[in-house]
Amino acid sequence: MALVIAPWNYPVHLLLLPMVGALAAGNSVVGKPSEVSAHTSAALARLVPEYLDPDTVAIVEGGVTETQALLAERFDYVFYTGNGRVGRIVMEAAAKHLTPVTLELGGKSPVIVDAAANVEVAARRIAFGKFLNAGQTCIAPDYVLVARPRHEELVEQIARAIRDFYGPDPAASPDYARIVNDAHFQRLEQLLTGGTPAVGGETRAEGRYVAPTVLGDVAPGSPVMTEEIFGPILPVLPVAHVDEAIRFVNERDRPLALYVFSESQAAQERVLDQTSSGGVCVNATVMHVAVPDLPFGGVGASGMGAYHGKAGFDAFSHRKSVLVKPTRLDPKFAYPPYRKVKERIIRRFL
């Protein structure tokens, strides 16, 4: 039996997709939706038993108390998607039963924009990946390291992309999301103080609106650069060259995703060879999550294990070795005592 604990930001997809892998591999499943997305949790609890066998699949609603009660039980596998703090709690609870886990966590996914990048295209793709779901995506670009000669151009092009996507007032756009709750809204307001908005920066407590924001003048040690943002705030930092960007990334926890924009194959390969991350997109953001043939998962602080497609089936499977040997031939020379004649025969065949 597998336990799947889902987050609130994509509450249907991130509950049902791991459950598909678990069921395909022959497991029964307990699904735990997030209490933060309460309406979706209630809908899943109502709909799943209508379409799936209740003896095989169960949905358990609730908050921390219910999750702790589930983790106290002995499961064959635990699959958790969420933040690193809770991920450590899940792993500790699973360790008491020696239960294997997949932890899909997050962190700070960097973007490296090389001097040889197509900045106009890079800006659109960065803006798309960052401001999708108002930045509430585990693989959203968390900050940008851009070659200093292209810095101003990149900021201008991201501002243009925001206007193209969401109009002159993103608050009026039907395509721009809101922050999930007051606590996260207030957290993001605090992170905004870590730099100077070059684009956006507006907030409205009513409706929990945080504008698509590009942040400049950011200190590398500020909270907006050390905490996972999980919102529509994008620090953009100039660097001298790709090697400086690589050093910056490698001085921090290994990210769930890394994005590099360059028309130079040498620069692309340098980033790929010299960094470690859960996944990488070259000249794109977030799109790797949509390819079922690519295993999706983190490394280090961004998680462990992978799923999607066959990788999801494998995650919930145990590869049991089975040997079947016929009994018709059972030569005695294979057994002790091992005299010199037996030894010579065995050595000849082995």
Residue type, 178: R
Domains and CATH numbers, the chain: 2-105+302-315 (3.40.605.10), 109-297 (3.40.309.10)
DSSP 176-240: ----SSHHHHHHHHHHGGGSEEEE---EETTTTEE--EEEES--TTSHHHHS---SSEEEEEEES
- Strand, helix or coil for residue 81: strand
Which residues are catalytically annotated?
104, 138
pTM higher than 0.75 for the full model?
yes
Confidence grade of residue 349 (pLDDT, cut at 50, 70, 90): confident
Mean pLDDT, to the nearest integer, of 59-67?
A: 97
CB 6 within 8 A of CB 14: yes
- Quote the pLDDT of residue 110: 98
Mean pLDDT, to the nearest integer, of 231-254?
A: 98
pLDDT one-digit tens code per residue, 314-337 = 999 999 999 999 999 898 877 888
- Quote the pLDDT of residue 344: 83
Q: Cα–Cα distance between 180 and 222 in angstroms, integer?
A: 24
User: Which position has the token pair 């038993």?
Assistant: 49
CA-based nearest residue to 207, from 234, 252, 241, 173: 173
Helix 64-71 to helix 84-95 angle, to the nearest 10 degrees? 30
Mean pLDDT, to the nearest integer, of 265-288?
A: 98
Mean pLDDT, to the nearest integer, of 204-222?
A: 96
Q: Cα–Cα distance between 157 and 124 in angstroms, integer?
A: 7
